Amino acid sequence: MEIKEAQRLAWANKIDKGFNTSDVPLEFMLLHGEIAESFQAWRRVQPDLGEELADVALYLFALAEMNGVDLDGEVERKIAKNTHRQYAQDGNGVPLRVSEGHS
């Protein structure tokens, strides 16, 4: 399934179920909660990690739709941008961006 279709379906589910479709700050906080649940599932080695990560994606897709963001296109552009960036490690082995790598 493409992101565009998942975004549409996540939004349709919110409308069908009568979930929030207008309070953007609330959606950010609910997304934050889903990320926390995913972390807990990972940390506790629970079998529902995949489902929790799917919840994160669905909240993100709906938030993008709520704000008129074509997440499919944005992810594609961001991956291309990240592909061209160049990094070097600092003295502690932390990667630091040294170039946007524009071609």
Whether 101 is in a domain gets the answer no
pLDDT tens per residue, range 86-98:
999 999 999 999 9
Compute how many other C-beta atoms are within 10 angstroms of the C-beta atom of residue 11: 19
Q: Answer yes or no: is 93 within a domain.
A: no
Region 13-32: mean pLDDT is 97
Its sign, for the CA torsion 14, 66, 29, 34, is positive
Instruction: Say how many residues make up the chain.
Output: 103
Q: What is the domain-level CATH number for residue 41?
A: 1.10.287
Query: Residue 96: inside a domain, yes or no?
Result: no
- How many structural domains does the chain have? 1
Angle at 51 between CA 39 and CA 17, to 5 degrees: 115
pLDDT digits (tens, 9 = 90+) for 2-19: 999 999 999 999 999 999
In 1-103, beta strands by DSSP E: 86-89, 95-99
pLDDT at residue 10, as a whole number? 97
**What's the confidence (pLDDT) of residue 17?**
97
58: containing domain: 3-87
Cα dihedral 91, 93, 99, 100, rounded to 10, equals: -150
Residue 99 lies in a domain: no
Residue 92 lies in a domain: no
The pLDDT of residue 36: 98
Give 72-81 pLDDT, tens digit per residue: 999 999 999 9
Round to whole Å and give the CA distance between 62 and 54.
12
Please give the angle made by the CA atoms of 4, 38 and 50, to the nearest 5 degrees: 60
